[in-house]
A and B are shown apart, each in its own frame.
Chain A
Amino acid sequence: MQSVLDIKNLTVRFATADGEVAAVSDVSLSVGKGECLGIVGESGSGKSQTFMAAMGLLARNGRATGEVMFGYMNLLTAKEQTLNTVRGNKLAMIFQDPMTSLTPHMKVGRQLTEVLVRHCGLNAAAARTAAIEMLGRVRIPEAARRFDMYPHELSGGLRQRVMIAMALLCGPELIIADEPTTALDVTVQAQILALIRSTREEFNTSIILITHDLGVVAGLADRVAVMYAGRIVEIGDVDQIFNAPRHPYTKGLLACTPRLDDPATATLATIPGQPPNLQHLPRGCAYHPRCPYVMDRCRVESPKLLPTGAGQNACFLDDLDVRAAS
């Protein structure tokens, strides 16, 4: 499959008062045309920073190395000016908190039209028409009236729809949605997910869906990458991840996710132990202090992400399986 975004050996480091922190370590992945890739993991596992690096939005103390190819452009080395020709145009991002992600003192309409004016060269009148039409397409009722409103006059769900409309304006090839539903009420969450699903079909856009909630990914993603302590620990088809998870962390995450087909009596499990501290990562596999299957080897050696079946997995248990089979 032709890929839209290709990340190779991406590492993101932050300079902090207590020394350097690697928020993302050696991440490689790619997203195919029209594909929806889910990125899951506990908060702090480096999901956001992976794609902030790709968008050129790292904080000042952050540095990215590796390669992020979007078409023929390496986003990591492109100049800001060059980057600005694709950002918001063919490569769009939606953020977690719709309450604070829109400029409070500008009308919603202006925040949409400025994208069209910038990237599509529309004049003010044409941009207005196109923006109102897009607001309608993301099912905002009374789009023309909402166009002239300030963000605080809209509900959280509507604001996230505005963000989605903004992302769709220039017909993007890839939309990165970073926890697009996390800040919303449960019922609104479902509506926004439905909207993302239908835009994907309607616009044939590739989508990267970042979430800490496996449930969000289940009905939407084709493939899922699981991140832990800045690394991808497992990546595979959505069915495989949900029905035959290989990495102990994936299994742990699944056990924490309520499922509709669970018996009602089942209690929600949590993964025991502390989420990893990036400043003091344990030797060996970062997950080993919490892993129920921990072996001696895990404490000294870091497992590589290797192909297993349809996907990839970074766990020494796979070696055992292979040996047991032979």
Chain B
Amino acid sequence: MWSYFIRRIVIGIPTLWAIITVCFFLMRLTPGGPFDSEAPVPPEILTNLRASYHLDDPLWQQYFSYLGNLLHGDFGPSFKYRDFTVTELIAQGFPVSLQNGAAALVLAVVIGVFLGIVAALAQNTRRDYAVSAIAMTGIVIPNFIMGHLLILIFGLWLKDSIFQLPAGGWEDGAFANRILPVVCLALPYVAYIARIARGSMIEALHANYIRTARAKGLPFRTVVLRHALTSAMMPVVTFLGPATAFILTGSMVVETIFQIPGIGRYFVQGALNRDYTLVMGVTILSAALVIFMNIVVDMIYSVLDPHVRYDEAAS
């Protein structure tokens, strides 16, 4: 089985390379350049700047030198934050996004799965409809509205009450400053996971082996948790693979609204400033994470479902 996963990782490398290539050229095709938005710069300085970043070299040459540097783990200097390398910026921002993302993920899985099971067991009752309503709300209200809504409620209306929470800022990761962004980040995932878990739990409860488990006289709780939950979790795990990658690399919207120095905010600023290397760096990190998480999902599959045997599938 390990050889299968090692092979998967090896196959991931050309995928990543393709993404890097497409991204590199797409960005250069986009109108505008890294130094456009600056206050008017004297032409001679601009020429110097362009030269120091090799922007006047032929594109293919820039591409290969970028790839070459990547192989040494060097993402190059940032165009915008000129005193920092992209690697340094990622090292600053990624842990922040990672912490928030992980917290949001745990919150989303625990609450989402719980709500999904509750809804499935109360299928077509008021409780079920309530969960569906919550889920639909979480899905249809976009992040940027939900974020401002939360700020409005907890930062403004509840100001001076015990429920008051900071409307933004990071304060080096103070607990109170983390609450709103994490909740905002988690809400849509709570909604998706609840919906997925509800559907798969209902389906699992219809399986023949659930009938067997009930015929054995097991308490219903045991039937659900021991016999049904594992297969009901499979679709949730499938969803979680890419979702984890996205949530961990930070939400640009949430980090921008709450002014969190995470990697998502760098991405937005990088894109606005045509900070080629910064955008590339964040993109590569996200892509690598998506590829990696998909492999992790397959590994979890092989634990949840003994049918899944990757040696056989590969041979």
The residues of A with any CB-CB pair to B shorter than 8 Å are 55-57, 60, 80-81, 83-89, 92-93, 95, 97, 100-106, 114-115, 118-119, 150, 152, 163, 166
9 new A-B contacts at CB < 8 Å, known A55-B215, A81-B219, A105-B231: A88-B216, A95-B208, A95-B212, A100-B208, A100-B209, A102-B209, A102-B212, A150-B307, A152-B306
Chain B residues with Cβ below 8 Å from A56 are 214
- Do residues A57 and B215 form an inter-chain contact, with CB atoms below 8 A? yes
Which of A60, A89, A101, A103 is within 8 Å of B217, CB to CB? A89
Give the docked Cα–Cα distance between A86 and B306 (Å).
Answer: 31
Chain A residues with Cβ below 8 Å from B305 are 104-105
- Do residues A152 and B211 form an inter-chain contact, with CB atoms below 8 A? no
Chain A residues with Cβ below 8 Å from B220 are 80
- Do residues B216 and A150 form an inter-chain contact, with CB atoms below 8 A? no
Which of B211, B231, B304 is within 8 Å of A57, CB to CB? B211
- Do residues A152 and B208 form an inter-chain contact, with CB atoms below 8 A? no
Which of A55, A88, A150 is within 8 Å of B218, CB to CB? A88
- Of all chain B residues, the one with the shortest Cβ separation from A96 is B208
- Given A84-B218, A118-B218, A103-B307 contact (CB < 8 Å): no
- Do residues B216 and A87 form an inter-chain contact, with CB atoms below 8 A? yes
- Do residues A114 and B306 form an inter-chain contact, with CB atoms below 8 A? no
- Do residues B213 and A84 form an inter-chain contact, with CB atoms below 8 A? no
Interface centre among B220, B222, B227 (most CB of A within 10 A): B227
Min CB distance A67 to B, Å, is 20
Chain A residues with Cβ below 8 Å from B306 are 104-105, 150, 152
Give the docked Cα–Cα distance between A88 and B307 (Å).
Answer: 27
Chain A residues with Cβ below 8 Å from B304 are 105
- Do residues B217 and A87 form an inter-chain contact, with CB atoms below 8 A? yes
Which of B211, B215, B217 is within 8 Å of A85, CB to CB? B217
- Do residues A118 and B216 form an inter-chain contact, with CB atoms below 8 A? yes
Give the docked Cα–Cα distance between A119 and B216 (Å).
Answer: 9
Give the docked Cα–Cα distance between A89 and B213 (Å).
Answer: 12
B 218-234 to A, binary, CB cutoff 8 A, 1 in contact else 0: 11101000110011000
Give the docked Cα–Cα distance between A82 and B231 (Å).
Answer: 28
Which of B212, B222, B231, B307 is within 8 Å of A101, CB to CB? B212
Which of A57, A97, A118, A152 is within 8 Å of B214, CB to CB? A57
- Given A84-B218, A100-B209, A152-B227 contact (CB < 8 Å): no
- B207 sits at the interface (CB 8 A): yes
Give the docked Cα–Cα distance between A97 and B212 (Å).
Answer: 11
Chain A residues with Cβ below 8 Å from B219 are 81, 84
Q: List 30 A-B contacts (CB under 8 A).
A: A56-B214, A81-B219, A83-B217, A86-B217, A87-B217, A88-B217, A92-B215, A95-B208, A100-B208, A101-B208, A101-B209, A101-B211, A101-B212, A103-B209, A103-B213, A103-B227, A104-B305, A104-B306, A104-B307, A105-B231, A105-B305, A114-B218, A114-B222, A114-B226, A115-B216, A115-B217, A150-B307, A152-B306, A163-B212, A166-B216
Chain A residues with Cβ below 8 Å from B222 are 114
Which of B212, B215, B217 is within 8 Å of A118, CB to CB? B217
Chain A residues with Cβ below 8 Å from B207 are 100
Min CB distance A86 to B, Å, is 7
- Given A104-B231, A105-B231, A114-B209 contact (CB < 8 Å): no
- Given A80-B220, A97-B208, A152-B307, A105-B230 contact (CB < 8 Å): yes
- Of all chain B residues, the one with the shortest Cβ separation from A85 is B217
Give the docked Cα–Cα distance between A150 and B218 (Å).
Answer: 20
Which of B123, B211, B231, B307 is within 8 Å of A95, CB to CB? B211
Min CB distance B303 to A, Å, is 9
Chain B residues with Cβ below 8 Å from A119 are 217
Chain B residues with Cβ below 8 Å from A105 are 230-231, 304-306
- Of all chain A residues, the one with the shortest Cβ separation from B304 is A105
Give the docked Cα–Cα distance between A177 and B133 (Å).
Answer: 43
Give the docked Cα–Cα distance between A73 and B209 (Å).
Answer: 26
- Given A95-B212, A100-B209, A152-B306, A106-B217 contact (CB < 8 Å): no
Give the docked Cα–Cα distance between A92 and B213 (Å).
Answer: 11
Chain A residues with Cβ below 8 Å from B218 are 84, 88, 114, 118
Min CB distance A115 to B, Å, is 5
Give the docked Cα–Cα distance between A120 and B219 (Å).
Answer: 15
Q: Which residues from 296 to 315 on chain B have a C-beta closer than 8 Å to any C-beta of chain A?
A: 304-307
Chain B residues with Cβ below 8 Å from A57 are 211, 214-215
Give the docked Cα–Cα distance between A81 and B211 (Å).
Answer: 16
Give the docked Cα–Cα distance between A90 and B214 (Å).
Answer: 14
Give the docked Cα–Cα distance between A305 and B208 (Å).
Answer: 34
